[in-house]
Structure 1
Amino acid sequence: QAYYDALPGFLKHRAAAFATDRLLSRLTVGLGYLPSWASPKIRVSAQLSAAAPDELPQITLTSEGFSEAKVRGKCVPPMLPDVISRIRRAAPYLDLWPVTPRMLWSGGAKSYHFGGSFPHANEPDSGSATTDRLGRLARWDRIHLIDGSVFPNVPATTFTLTVMANSHRIAREAMQLTA
């Protein structure tokens, strides 16, 4: 139903039902990601409360935006025009034809793949947003970040198993410290 709802009005008309049915039976929708190093950067800032210094800070996310690369008049990540060009070149071999005017992209931190915000460091310091091997920020030693935020960057591919393995390692090592 979602695909039908997104169709242009003329394809929703009753007279176009046969053509619309054929179109939807051949439609493939793709979802892709750019790697974190080619995506807009996100600045994370924390505001500590002077009245309650032991409480968690107020976190603010700010996108540092896209470059001047443009697609259809909109600023996009610099890598995207090249990705679109490669998809178009591969289309005849895959028999998958991109409908680039219907292509959508989102800004920074508007995806399912985000991370690299608090990367592990051998010696994290309190002035940076780095964590130790156990995913702890310098100020909070009982809070462990165990998701993709502790990676130095995030690949465009699926990385769920890598996050799970790292989370398991952090939990195992943290448990050994308390034993």
Structure 2
Amino acid sequence: VKDWSVYHPIHAERQVIKNVNLNVRKGEVVGIAGLMGAGRTEFAMSLFGRSYGRHITGEVLLEGKPIDISSVSKAVENRIAYVTEDRKTYGLNLIDHIKHNVTLANLGGVSSRGVIDDMREMSVANDYRKKTNIRASSVYQLTGNLSGGNQQKVVLSK
């Protein structure tokens, strides 16, 4: 991330993120920390194609080349992911089961011609359940009944 600035959506002259530079090496996982109001969410969301303000300056480079992250789908194509800090409000459907929560962000990967393949969906959900060690009796367990840590694993699986 090079010289990244995000401007307020209404007060266009006000920068909410000012000239951030960030270098992430291959294999690193980055978490952003800071006090409330410091701009963590605005920064992270702007890198994921969902900006607090639409006026953004700076660039994102991947392997030395500029990439387009102007939308969520373009960010995902460029291997950028976003995990919300508020999983209960923005990250999960608490009244649905693990299987649907895990596959919701990639329905195209578990469907054909608009019809969800239940076996494929179950296979994907079980695969992520094992990879992230989600502690549940099955992928049909309601996400709202999981512990906070296991809910976060479901968000990461998504």
Per the shorter chain, which TM-score range?
under 0.3
Higher Rg of the two aligned structures? 1
| TM-score (norm: length of structure 1) | 0.25
TM-score relative to the length of structure 2: 0.27
